[in-house]
Amino acid sequence: MAEQIGLPIAGQSGKAGSMNIVFRADLSRHVAHRPSVLYWVMRPGAHLGGIGMGLVRMVRPWDEWLLTWGYDIDQPPPEVDEATARDIVHDLVGDTTIDVEITSTSLWTVNHSYATEYSRGRVFCAGDAVHRHPPSNGLGSNTSIQDSYNLAWKLAMVLRGEAGPGLLDTYTAERAPVGRQIVDRANLSRDQFGPIFAALGIAGGGDDEGIVAGLAACRADDAEGVKRRQALHEAIELKNYEFNAHGVELNQRYSSGAVIPDDAPPEVWERDPELFHQPTTRPGAKLPHAWLVDEHGERLSTLDLVGRGEFTVVTGLAGGAWVSAAEELSLRAVRIGDAGVRDAYGDWRRVSDLDEAGCLLVRPDGHVAWRSVSDVPSGHVGVLRDVLNRVLHRKFPPS
Ligand SMILES: Cc1cc2nc3c(=O)[nH]c(=O)nc-3n(C[C@H](O)[C@H](O)[C@H](O)COP(=O)(O)OP(=O)(O)OC[C@H]3O[C@@H](n4cnc5c(N)ncnc54)[C@H](O)[C@@H]3O)c2cc1C
């Protein structure tokens, strides 16, 4: 569809070939004592394509699995019949005695490509159609769902006449940078298997003997073995950027016509922005999560106070004027500190960066559209109305 409507696609397609094999086999004797959802397996041949190693991923412990194996993209795509698939499973698991029932096989390619525009006329694209990358970092589904979450409320409001059509232009402005970031990160994570291969002494290509020799050298008790194990340790540390990269997933900052920036100085990242999430109420960021306490004494997240298709005004106990203004404009308002939304742990005060009489306007997708860190002297209704009109690309509120 993206190609059919002429969306510009940047990057490279078909960098490597991969196959998925879904199978049933009782592998408990190999894994039950070291439980994980995902096992990387170094075997001769595994680095030819795909993600660069054999991968055995648990679907159901310990008898249902997805195996991923590479193939040489420069050769014609392989025919993977049941017997071939079973051989690959036996080889990668390293045990020919297990019973294997093949459920399905499929081929896929590693891509490093992304659309730089997500819509043409009345057609909007989301998901893997506009960001194409290997599964490294595991963000394909989340990013695809976020695309839809970003678009759905905008479409609904424009179709209901509550927003101007300009709001729809903000979809590309907000989501295309995220798509590109995910594609680049996933491919970098795949490339960062390189140092692991180097430490293991694996040159690449079909160097099966080299793999066997490299793995043996890595176990040697000589100086070369020590050097390789140190290099391997450092290479595996890099994998934090694949498996523990909360910042990649959560530090999205939208910049578009559906966000009104404030005059705060540019954001400074306190820690590595790829590894660590930095919560903020800066316009464009996702509303930070903070635990509150409801009227039954149960924990409640700030994230549950917003969304469900509506804009939300968020303020503190001293922000009564914002609440009244929100009511006048038929906006949902939340005053943190009220019964039912008590900041019992001080989490909100810690992350919100707002005075108690400050105010956030949070969009239906949970991103902050606008904020006033402090109270304004007067005219709260007018301020909120203007802000809403700008964000929704409309001149007047609907009657
Ligand atoms: C091996 C592997 C592991 C992954 N692991 C993870 C992970 O751990 N975490 C994660 O978040 N993501 C992961 N992903 C990525 C994730 O699966 C995708 O990002 C996600 O499925 C994309 O969703 P989508 O709806 O955009 O596309 P798809 O899921 O591909 O859905 C598109 C649908 O459209 C259908 N279709 C195509 N053409 C037509 C047509 N002309 N007419 C009608 N229907 C059509 C297709 O059959 C398909 O059902 C992984 C992907 C792979 C390949």
- Which of 72, 87, 112 is at the close of a domain? 112
Distance CA 55, CA 42 (A): 9
Ligand 1, residue 1: give the atom nearest the CA. Answer: 41
Distance from the alpha carbon of residue 141 to the mean position of ligand 1, in angstroms:
8
Which one has a higher pLDDT value, 17 or 314?
A: 314
What CATH number corresponds to the domain at position 346? 3.40.30.120
Q: Tell whether 49 is covered by a domain.
A: yes
Give the pLDDT confidence of 96-113 residue by residue, as tens digits.
999 999 999 999 999 999
Q: How many domains does the chain have?
A: 3
Are 31 and 93 contained in the same domain? yes
Single out the residue of 113, 158, 159 nearest to residue 2, CA to CA.
113
Q: Tell whether 336 is covered by a domain.
A: yes
Domain housing 13? 9-112
Which residues form the pocket of ligand 1, taking CB atoms under 6 Å from any ligand atom? Answer: 20, 68, 108, 127-128, 135, 138-142, 144
What CATH number corresponds to the domain at position 33? 3.30.9.10
- Using pLDDT thresholds of 50, 70 and 90, give the confidence band for residue 49: low
Cα within 13 Å of Cα(133), Cβ side = 29
Q: Which of 11-20, 38-47, 310-319 has the largest mean confidence?
A: 310-319
Are 295 and 227 contained in the same domain? no
Are 311 and 386 contained in the same domain? yes
Are 17 and 94 contained in the same domain? yes
Q: Tell whether 125 is covered by a domain.
A: no
State what percent of residues in the chain have pLDDT above 90. 83
Are 229 and 296 contained in the same domain? no
Mean pLDDT of 50-73: 87
Are 297 and 371 contained in the same domain? yes
Distance from the alpha carbon of residue 119 to the mean position of ligand 1, in angstroms:
19
Distance CA 225, CA 222 (A): 5
Distance from the alpha carbon of residue 386 to the mean position of ligand 1, in angstroms:
40
Distance from the alpha carbon of residue 128 to the mean position of ligand 1, in angstroms:
6
- Which of 87, 112, 137 is at the close of a domain? 112
Give the pLDDT confidence of 212-254 residue by residue, as tens digits.
888 888 999 999 999 999 999 999 999 999 999 999 999 999 9
Please give the full DSSP string across 189-218, using - where no structure is assigned.
Answer: HHHTTHHHHHHHT--STT-HHHHHHHHHHH
Are 222 and 304 contained in the same domain? no
Which residue of 18, 19, 107, 141 sits with most ligand 1 atoms within 8 Å of its CB, as the best mutation to test the pocket?
141
Q: Tell whether 325 is covered by a domain.
A: yes
Q: Looking at the DSSP assignment, which residues form a beta bridge with residue 123?
A: 120
- Using pLDDT thresholds of 50, 70 and 90, give the confidence band for residue 54: confident
Distance from the alpha carbon of residue 369 to the mean position of ligand 1, in angstroms:
30
- Which of 62, 94, 112 is at the close of a domain? 112
Which one has a higher pLDDT value, 71 or 340?
A: 340
Are 318 and 224 contained in the same domain? no
Distance CA 257, CA 154 (A): 12
pLDDT at position 399 is: 47
